[in-house]
Chains A and B, each alone.
Chain A
């Protein structure tokens, strides 16, 4: 297994455009998380899936943001009508929900630049 995979690694877009990011978790992991990280800050939680169910969403996730995990495997994060303030690193993590410490494994992230 190659770990958590995120695509694309970098995305440059113009303000007002829609963008979609993909995350492929570690194959046996049933939990998947999206985080956003702005320059000089630690990651901030956006949303969390257990299998295909989206169990928690942060208030940071405005109406322009939507995340899906349709078959409980890969997940997509879509941002509609992007704004310059959306420029950040979007990180995906996955974990095995089988009890014990919930160790999350992170992908390399997708860096979004909104011009």
Chain B
């Protein structure tokens, strides 16, 4: 079993829909990072969370440390949101290696 699990693995939505991507992890962490990867490979940082909730534009990320769970929400989805969304956790101090989920492939149809 992977230490970081994402669900769903694939998601197709219609433009305008509210989207939720989930990340569960089984290790202790100091922070959790949501990343976006477009076709072609480049990875863009969306949010770094250690508690609570963050919002940027149409994106909202939440984390529940006790439940070891984070969600990424996209409101009013748009075809340009189509990408792979990756959850990465950072274990407590002493290591700098991210542990990555396998990603959620999102396709938003016009």
- A→B interface (CB under 8 Å): 9, 31, 33, 37, 40-45, 48, 56, 89, 91, 93, 95, 97, 101-109, 111
Contacts and interface: CB of A to CB of B under 8 A. Distances in A.
Contacts of B44: 106
A91 B43 contact: yes
Contacts of B33: 103-104
Contact of A102 (B86, B96, B101): B96
Interface in B24-47: 30-31, 33, 35, 40-45
Nearest to A56: B97
A95 B45 contact: no
A91 B41 contact: yes
B contact residues, range? 20 to 34
Contact of B96 (A37, A42, A95): A95
Q: Which of A37, A42, A43, A45 has the most CB of B within 10 A?
A: A42
Q: Please provide the 10 A-B residue pairs with the shortest distance between their CB atoms, ordered closest to farther.
A: A42-B100, A108-B42, A109-B41, A106-B43, A101-B31, A45-B97, A42-B102, A89-B41, A102-B96, A43-B100
Contacts of B41: 9, 37, 89, 91, 108-109, 111
Contacts of B102: 40-42
A97 B42 CA distance: 22
A105 B48 CA distance: 11
A71 to B, nearest CB: 21
B96 A31 contact: yes
B96 A48 contact: yes
Contacts of B40: 108
Contacts of B48: 101, 103
